[in-house]
Structure 1
Amino acid sequence: MMQRRLYRRPLLALAFVATAAISLSACASTTATPAATATSDELEGRGPIQYVSSPDGSGAAQATIDAWNAEHPDEQVTWVELPLDADQQRQQMVQNAQVEGSAYTVLNLDVVWTSEFAANRWITALPEDAIALDEMIPATVDAATYRDTVYAAPYYTDGALLYSRTDLLAAAGITNPPETWAEMEAACDAVLALPEAAGMSCYAGQFDKNEGLTVNFSEAVSSAGGSLFNADGEPTVDTQEARVALDFLVDGFATGMIPEEAITFQEEQGREAFQSGRLVFLRNWPYIYKALAAEDGSSSVQGKFGVSAIPGLDELGVSTLGGRNIAISSFAENKATALDFITFFTSQEQQRERLALSSRAPVFAEFYEDDAIVAKYAYLPTLLTALERAQPRPKVVQYGATTAAIQDDIYAALTGVKSPEEALENLQSQLTTITAD
């Protein structure tokens, strides 16, 4: 058990929390008049282009690029690889945009950056007839839209999943996944009392001081019935619902039900902890499913885990809509080639191959209704449930400053530097100032 922290709250239930974000450091400027819907003829220039993205260990993106390059010898795509950390990715893209650099052509954007990049005219409006938007999950199209104009093509979508050690739950006499935080706590108590669970911890999410912390906190608030912003775009973090959510997190660390090491967890550290058998429950994205289910001996939980929707305070929790969009830099050359590449990159055929290689969730609705696909990727119906319950993140233009403020205050609460009350009061003040600019 961890030593209890300075600011102890009565433990109502373990915070098995998760996501919902706004994004990254260094705030960019505010509003700009949106462009009218583009047409394909307005995107001119053909020739080599650059695809700008984080690393992809699955090989899925590289396979798509290789397939394109084989068919387009005069319009080759070069992958410009950015850091794995999302904050650093955004920072480099913003820096290129601020100097109107042409080194980046096609940008792989977190869905929460799209409004910021569109408002600042860093990306170009896309012709809607070039992308099969009517065949995609509506929420993914909305995440690529700013002020009724489509600025990006949905690439893949994401919703939070709860990964559970179903073998240990069964051994403890538990047959159904938890739907509430109280049920989660009770399940942990039962499992951790088993001899075969010796040395394990209960739950982890992403609590390192980066975008994942913003995601986990905001989903906790949503799952407690609150929100980070109201319908008018005003911050609402100094509320009872937000206090309940943050108390859950602080108490989880204070009692050791969330292991101390989880304060350093990003997505991959959490995956490694669950895959090596150190956790009963893990909140993470669908992409880790393939690694957990690997039959090559690399996963100690192969055949021993299941997925379900995340739990909430009184009922199933509320995921946020994650994922990535693909956009064209306003300052790039060869935009006609870029549009064709985006159409190819986000096609159903490529999404099918990407699903097989990386478990990245497709944006086309029909994948979730295809019996053959669901038989192979059993988590898809659960993910669809999460996506149907997911709350879209507020389209705040100042994503950088917003997420930095959230990370600062929530991390301070989790590490005992601030009380939950102090953290939320200060965060409310910070977000009010940021969104007023």
Structure 2
Amino acid sequence: MVTAWGATGTDRPPDREPPRRHRWRRGRPRRGRSAAAGVCALALLLAACGGGGAGADGEVTVNFFTAPEENLQAVVDRCNREAGGRYRIVYHQLPRDADGQREQMVRRLAAEDAGMDVLGLDVTWVPEFAEAGWVREWTGERREAATRDVLPGPLRTAVWREKVYAAPKNTNVQLLWYDERLTPEPPRTWAEAIAAAERLRAAGKPHDLLFTGAQYEGLVVFFNSLVASAGGRLLNEEGTEAVVDEGVVEALRLLKEIATSGVTSPSLTNMQEDQVRLAFQNGRGAFQFNWPFVYASYAQEKPDEVEHLRWARYPSFREGEESRVTVGGYNLAVSTYSRHQDEAFDATLCLRSAQSQKFQALRSGLPPSIASVYEDDTPLDPDRPADPETNPTMGSQYPPKDTIRAALEDAAVRPLTPVYQNLSTVTAEILSPPSAIDPERTADTLRRELDAALKSQGVLP
């Protein structure tokens, strides 16, 4: 039953990247206890400041902080049963928005709060948390267990300076979505996509190329996918210096061309993920570039037409090449200040195991980071016969799984740097509005402003 896709109990679909509107923060991370009093006041909203440890019966409590997810509590409950009394995981829901999640964790970790054990991190936060010394490195057998069979794109988001600091939980990647009645075959290149949209416009049919053009993280993600597909680089390999090479210029030219071609929505600069979804779903576009949550929404809201919804990888720059699309998702890390790190590592491995990822893929639509889950077509409950409604398989419940996995094999990551929040803010501002881009001049501005952003060592105190 496809209608379970996208239901997370949050204000956003499970596999949609949350909007971010970060401020540019300067100054070095403050990790001492001087801010402890203020942090404790904030932490009372979540748990007792410095809390954690053993319960009244001597059982170790592992405090798990992450975004709200429907069905995650069921995973926690199963892991607690499997722990056999060695520990008990307590799931603490952070705010729904990414900024709120990061802010609460950063403030508590800056005060060395021992009441946090397992942390759910957006894929862009791992370098920041690792560089600040807030999360433990995964080594030895634990590292091998955390990285085994993880797809290349998600794995890169868990590594900082060649060390593993997190275990990939779920991942994400955008696809091209289209209606077979308008376009029987997907465009293979961006030139074909624009030409197809122009033909549809001339025929008086829905024709817009719909993507996240508002000034926020969604525009940065779209642009990063264009840069990676063009073979460009924004930063050097170490993440310490802006490169902004010819591939970036090529991506800027394409973004400008798309925005000025007459085949984008008049509301382009206000469009985030859900506006893109609704425009396409309501017949105001030919193609949308969006996360897999759109399938569930379409199935729920237009069930009689979902059979005509199709998906493919992003178009490429040139015939015979493959696109590279930006990876999303969440990773799980163990806090440096946890009093029960052995238990926290073990709890993390259970929370993001293949069994857990399969359950959340089928019940909540979260794309797995473990490759074998995509090939596992046994039913959710292996002791009962498969049934699409009550006991689904990956084949029956997750139609785009093969396309998602293929895109994840060589997915791009956003620039890996502890100050990614600064880079995101700067990039979104420079790219807005896309129609005003002057490729060469905008590239020069990006190079200058990204270098300035990299010099900011600031995170929220």
Is the TM-score greater than 0.5? yes
The superposition leaves residues 217-242 of structure 1 with CA deviations (integer Å, 9 ceiling, x where unpaired) of 111122233221233543222x4432
Count of residue pairs brought into register by the alignment: 391
**Conserved 8 A contact 2:235-2:243:** yes
The alignment's TM-score, normalised by the length of structure 2, stands at 0.75
Partner of 1:431: 450
**Conserved 8 A contact 1:22-1:112:** no
Aligned-partner Cα distance in 2 for 1:51–1:278: 42
Aligned-partner Cα distance in 2 for 1:115–1:28: 17
Unaligned ranges ≥5, structure 2: 1-16, 32-52, 379-392, 457-461
Aligned-partner Cα distance in 2 for 1:253–1:341: 47
- CA shift for structure 1 position 180: 0.7
* Correspondences of 1:22-421 after superposition (within 5 Å): 25=23, 26=25, 29=28, 47-56=60-69, 59-68=70-79, 75-84=88-97, 86-130=98-142, 131-170=145-184, 176-194=185-203, 197=205, 200-231=206-237, 233=239, 234-237=241-244, 239-294=245-300, 297-298=301-302, 301-314=305-318, 315-370=321-376, 375-376=395-396, 377-411=398-432, 413-414=433-434, 416=436, 419-421=438-440
The alignment's TM-score, normalised by the length of structure 1, stands at 0.78
Aligned-partner Cα distance in 2 for 1:120–1:22: 21
**SS state of the match for residue 306, structure 1?**
strand
- Percent identity of equivalent pairs: 29
Partner of 2:48: none
Cα 1:285/1:392, change in 2 over 3 Å: same
The superposition leaves residues 84-127 of structure 1 with CA deviations (integer Å, 9 ceiling, x where unpaired) of 2x344323332332233345432211222111211111112235
**Conserved 8 A contact 2:123-2:330:** yes
Aligned-partner Cα distance in 2 for 1:276–1:54: 30
The superposition leaves residues 20-53 of structure 1 with CA deviations (integer Å, 9 ceiling, x where unpaired) of x9995436748x9xxxxxxxxxxx9763343323
Amino acid at match of 1:235: A
Structure with higher RCO (Cα < 8 A, 6+ apart): 1
The superposition leaves residues 198-218 of structure 1 with CA deviations (integer Å, 9 ceiling, x where unpaired) of xx4512222222222221111
**SS state of the match for residue 156, structure 1?**
strand
The superposition leaves residues 409-429 of structure 1 with CA deviations (integer Å, 9 ceiling, x where unpaired) of 112x4264x745443322211
**Conserved 8 A contact 2:324-2:407:** yes
**Conserved 8 A contact 1:277-1:300:** no
